[in-house]
């Protein structure tokens, strides 16, 4: 299958930009068989890159998946998993092994002295409310396979940059690592979109349909416009009924509901910017009244625009303090 259409990539970039992605490297692990690392449930997507050797990953309900040198695996949020040299290996909680580190990311050496495996472990964090609907199409275990023991070029280059920055002790290391993990997530999703032949319903699968992708790109480019099924169908070059049926089949929701969700996502970014009132934000995303906007916002995210703004300000303050502590070493 060829690369995604540039139009689809524009929509993909727009959507991923609203996830409030915060990448994190947990540890570079040098492991010797037998070994098994347990990862507790988290609100993040975990990832592991096998730089050398081979191992297994176990997700409850999905069984064991074999991994080899050059492979990347991404695992779902809110579910624990095990990374191991064999199914019979005794599981040790990974955080108990890195707890002695001064700070994350750490360097982990563990195991019984047998065959060696090197794994880079990390996680992708998101604003959970904004991720709802955008990441629903992710499979339980997403594996990017290497070839002949070598990772795809984009993964190999990103891994080398992560390793180089991990050895860097100069200021800005934590920020650089976070941005590189963010890039890794975007490249992984793009690779998955390019190669997966059987995507479940959702916005990612819709990007593979050139006509629906046109409609999505129009919504993303101008969310404040009074889009309707007829106007979007004309943009897609389809009849009204065919467009509506195809849209629901691919995205699992009608166009007007998708439009509302996208307007709310755009509004979250505007609400984080100082100086814009709720009424001004409402107007900029296509609502004639602040009350109508507030109802739609609460229906999608479960909080009012004002509450969301206050929560965001508190979270931003906490992140600034955390970055300042990291910069001080």
CATH of the domain at 246: 1.10.10.60
pLDDT at res. 102: 42
Is the domain of 93 the same as that of 140?
Answer: yes
Q: Indicate the pTM of the whole model.
A: 0.77
CATH of the domain at 141: 2.60.120.280
Using the predicted structure, report yes or no on whether residue 2 has a pLDDT greater than 50. no
Is the domain of 224 the same as that of 169?
Answer: no
| Domain range enclosing 241 | 203-312
Q: What's the start-to-end Cα distance of the chain, in Å?
A: 46
Residue after which a domain boundary falls, among 176, 195, 214: 195
Is the domain of 187 the same as that of 278?
Answer: no
Is the domain of 48 the same as that of 181?
Answer: yes
CA–CA gap between residue 171 and residue 326 (Å, rounded): 9
Domain count, the chain: 2
Is the domain of 236 the same as that of 129?
Answer: no
User: Which sign does the torsion angle of CA 310, 312, 316, 322 carry?
Assistant: positive
* Mean pLDDT confidence for 55-83: 92
pLDDT at res. 18: 65
Q: Is residue 10 part of a domain?
A: no
104 pLDDT band, cuts 50/70/90, is low
Lowest mean pLDDT among 51-55, 168-172, 216-220: 168-172
Using the predicted structure, report yes or no on whether residue 6 has a pLDDT greater than 80. no
pLDDT at res. 88: 95
Tell me which range, 1-10, 296-305, 318-327, is most confidently predicted by mean pLDDT. 296-305
Is the domain of 46 the same as that of 103?
Answer: yes
Is the domain of 140 the same as that of 252?
Answer: no
Q: Is residue 114 part of a domain?
A: yes
Q: Is residue 232 part of a domain?
A: yes
pLDDT at res. 99: 63
């Amino acid at each position: 299958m060829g690369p995604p259409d540039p139009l689809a990539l524009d929509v993909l970039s727009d959507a991923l930009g609203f996830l409030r992605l915060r990448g994190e490297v947990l540890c570079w692990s040098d492991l010797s068989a037998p070994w098994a690392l347990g990862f507790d449930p988290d609100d993040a997507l975990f990832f592991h890159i096998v730089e050398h050797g081979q191992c297994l990953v176990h997700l409850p309900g999905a069984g064991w998946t074999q991994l080899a040198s050059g492979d990347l695996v991404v695992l779902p949020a809110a579910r624990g998993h095990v990374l191991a040299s064999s199914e019979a290996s005794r599981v040790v909680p990974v955080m108990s092994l890195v707890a002695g580190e001064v700070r994350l990311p750490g360097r982990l050496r563990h195991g019984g002295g047998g065959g060696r495996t090197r794994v880079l472990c990390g996680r992708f964090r998101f604003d959970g409310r904004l991720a709802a609907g955008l990441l629903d199409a992710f499979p339980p275990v997403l594996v990017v396979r290497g070839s002949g023991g070598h990772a795809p070029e984009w993964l190999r280059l990103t891994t080398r940059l992560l390793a180089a920055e991990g050895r860097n002790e100069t200021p800005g290391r934590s920020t650089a690592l976070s941005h590189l993990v963010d890039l890794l997530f975007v490249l992984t999703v793009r690779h998955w979109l390019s190669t997966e032949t059987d995507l479940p319903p959702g916005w990612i699968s819709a990007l593979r349909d050139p006509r629906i992708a046109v409609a999505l790109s129009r919504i993303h480019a101008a969310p404040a416009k009074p889009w309707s099924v007829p106007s979007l169908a004309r943009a897609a070059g389809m009849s009204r009924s065919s467009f509506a049926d195809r849209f629901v089949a691919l995205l699992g929701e009608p166009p007007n509901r998708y439009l509302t969700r996208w307007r709310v996502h755009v509004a979250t970014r505007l609400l984080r910017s100082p100086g814009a009132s709720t009424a001004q934000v409402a107007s900029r995303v296509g609502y004639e009244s602040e009350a109508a906007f507030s109802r739609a916002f609460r229906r999608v995210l479960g909080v009012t625009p004002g509450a969301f703004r206050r929560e965001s300000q508190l979270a931003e303050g906490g992140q600034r303090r955390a970055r300042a502590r990291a910069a001080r070493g």
